[in-house]
C-alpha cells in the first residue's frame, strides 16, 4: 500500500509568468530521491475530493537543501492552475514518495539533454547533479516559444559561467528560429555522439528528437524519455500516512492452480531470478510479491517507468498508452501490464 507525506511549502518562486517552483520544507534525509524523479501531489477538488498529478523534481538531491517541483500553467490544466493560483508559503500538500526511472545510471559520463518548455524540470535536476558530482561534459538543447518563456534562464546562465568547458546550453526560440526541424535536431545530435541522451517535453518535440537521435546513430538504449499522462485512478485513495504503523497479514485471494502457469527468468541489477508466473498475474505484481524492487510508478500503463525488455518468449499487455511500435518491435514491454503468453519467458531490466 503506498504511503504519502504531508509537506509544508516553504516558498513559491515565480520562474516565468506562467511557471512556479514550489519549494517544500523538507530535505533529502526525509525524502531521498534521484535526479530526474518526480513527486505525485494530491490536489483538492470540489467535484471528487482530490485528484493526483505527477510533477518532476527540479531540485537536485546534491546541490539543493530542499525538494522542489516546477509547475507550468496550462489552459485546461485544473491542477496546474490550482497550484499557480492557490499555493503559497505555509500551504500543506500530500505527496507520494519520489518515483521514476528517468535518471542516469552514472553521473560521470558525458550527457546530451533535450528539453522543451516545462520539460526542463527533470532535466534541470539531472544537469545540476551531474555538474556537482560528476566529471563529464553536459550539453543542453532547450526549446521555448520566446525568451520570456525560458524557465530557469538566470540559473542556466550562472551554471554555464560556473562550469566553463563542461556545460554548453543551446537555446532554441520559436520566435527567432521557428520550430525545431528534424534536420536541425539530427545535426545537433550528431555533433555529440556516444552520449546518453535524455528527453523531456511535449510529445511532438520528443517524437521528433527521438527520431533525430536514432537517425544520428544513437542506440535505443542510450535514449531516455520522460513521458506523463493523466492517471486513470487516484493512488491517494488507498495510500496511508507515512508515519502510520499499519500491517495487513491476511493472505491474498490467489489460485494456486491457475491454468497455464509460465516460468519467468528476470535479470535486474546484474542478478537473475526465476519464478513460476501464474497466467492471471501481472509481472510487476509477481516481482513485488517476491521482494524484487523493480522500477514502477503509475501501474496503469501510461508512464513507462516499469519498462523492461522481453528477450525470450512472449507476453500480452493488458493496456499500453506509452510504448510505440518501435519500442514493441525491440521487445520492450510494461511490467505492470504484462501477462505470460508462452510457457517460458525471459525479461531483462538491465
Report the CATH number that the domain containing residue 19 is assigned in CATH.
2.40.30.10
What domain range is 186 assigned to? 111-226
Burial annotation 51-79 (CB, 10 A radius, 16+ → b, else e): bbbbbbbbbbbeebeebbbbbbbeeeeeb
Q: What's the domain count of the chain? A: 3
Confirm whether 165 is domain-assigned: yes
Cell output for 297? 510508478
Confirm whether 320 is domain-assigned: yes
Domain boundary, last residue among 39, 70, 100: 100
Listing DSSP states for 312-324 in one string gives ES-EEES--SS--
Do residue 269 and residue 308 come from a single domain?
A: yes
Confirm whether 106 is domain-assigned: no
Q: Sheet holding 196-200: strands in order across?
A: 167-173, 138-144, 111-116, 196-200, 223-226
Contact predicate 321/302, CB 8 Å = yes
- Greatest CA span in the chain, whole angstroms? 65
The phi, psi pair for 16, rounded to 5°, reads: -140, -175
DSSP strand E in 134-250: where?
138-144, 167-173, 196-200, 223-226, 240-241
Confirm whether 248 is domain-assigned: no
Report the CATH number that the domain containing residue 213 is assigned in CATH.
3.40.50.80
Report how far residue 14's alpha carbon sits from residue 210's, in angstroms, rounded to the nearest whole number.
31
pTM, two decimals, is: 0.78
What is the CB neighbour count within 10 angstroms for residue 271?
Answer: 9
Bridge pairing between strands 49-56 and 38-45? antiparallel
Do residue 92 and residue 126 come from a single domain?
A: no
Confirm whether 252 is domain-assigned: no
Please report, in tens digits, the pLDDT of each residue of the chain (350 residues total). Answer: 678 899 999 999 999 999 999 999 998 888 999 999 999 999 998 888 888 999 999 999 999 999 999 999 998 888 999 999 999 999 999 999 998 889 998 999 999 999 999 999 999 999 999 999 999 999 999 999 999 999 999 999 999 999 999 999 999 999 999 999 989 999 999 999 999 999 999 999 999 999 999 999 999 889 999 977 666 678 888 888 886 533 334 344 433 344 479 999 999 988 999 999 999 899 999 999 999 989 887 777 777 889 999 999 999 998 887 888 888 888 999 999 999 999 999 999 98
Residue 223's contacts (CB-CB under 8 Å, 6 or more residues apart) are 197, 199, 210, 213, 214
Amino acid at each position: 500500500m503506498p504511503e504519502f507525506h504531508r509537506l509544508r511549502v516553504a516558498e513559491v518562486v515565480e520562474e516565468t509568468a506562467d511557471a512556479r517552483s514550489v519549494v517544500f520544507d523538507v530535505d533529502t534525509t526525509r525524502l531521498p530521491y534521484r535526479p530526474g524523479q518526480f513527486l505525485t501531489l494530491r490536489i483538492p477538488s470540489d467535484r471528487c475530493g482530490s485528484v493526483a498529478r505527477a510533477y518532476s523534481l527540479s531540485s537536485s538531491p546534491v546541490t539543493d537543501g530542499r525538494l522542489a517541483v516546477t509547475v507550468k500553467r496550462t489552459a485546461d490544466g485544473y491542477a496546474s492552475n490550482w497550484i499557480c493560483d492557490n499555493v503559497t508559503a505555509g500551504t500543506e500538500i500530500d505527496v507520494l514518495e519520489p518515483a521514476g526511472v528517468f535518471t542516469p545510471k552514472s553521473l560521470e559520463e558525458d550527457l546530451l539533454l533535450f528539453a522543451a518548455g516545462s520539460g526542463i524540470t527533470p532535466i534541470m535536476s539531472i544537469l545540476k547533479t551531474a555538474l556537482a558530482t560528476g566529471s563529464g561534459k553536459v550539453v543542453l538543447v532547450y526549446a521555448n516559444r520566446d525568451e520570456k518563456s525560458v524557465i530557469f534562464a538566470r540559473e542556466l546562465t550562472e551554471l554555464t559561467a560556473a562550469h566553463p568547458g563542461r556545460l554548453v546550453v543551446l537555446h532554441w526560440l520559436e520566435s527567432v528560429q521557428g520550430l525545431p526541424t528534424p534536420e536541425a535536431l539530427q545535426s545537433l545530435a550528431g555533433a555529440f555522439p556516444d552520449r546518453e541522451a535524455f528527453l523531456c517535453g511535449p510529445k511532438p518535440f520528443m517524437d521528433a528528437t527521438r527520431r533525430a537521435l536514432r537517425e544520428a546513430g544513437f542506440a535505443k538504449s542510450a535514449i531516455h524519455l520522460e513521458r506523463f499522462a493523466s492517471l486513470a485512478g487516484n493512488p491517494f485513495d488507498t495510500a496511508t500516512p507515512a508515519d502510520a504503523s499499519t500491517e495487513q497479514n491476511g493472505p491474498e485471494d490467489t489460485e494456486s492452480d491457475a491454468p497455464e502457469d509460465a516460468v519467468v527468468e528476470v535479470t535486474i541489477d546484474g542478478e537473475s531470478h526465476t519464478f513460476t508466473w501464474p497466467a492471471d498475474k501481472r509481472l510487476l505484481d509477481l516481482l513485488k510479491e517476491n521482494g524484487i524492487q523493480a522500477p514502477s510508478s503509475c501501474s496503469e500503463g501510461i508512464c513507462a517507468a516499469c519498462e523492461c525488455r522481453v528477450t525470450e518468449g512472449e507476453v500480452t499487455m493488458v493496456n499500453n498508452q506509452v510504448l510505440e511500435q518501435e519500442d514493441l518491435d525491440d521487445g520492450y514491454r510494461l511490467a505492470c501490464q504484462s501477462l505470460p503468453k508462452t510457457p517460458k519467458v525471459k525479461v531483462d531490466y538491465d
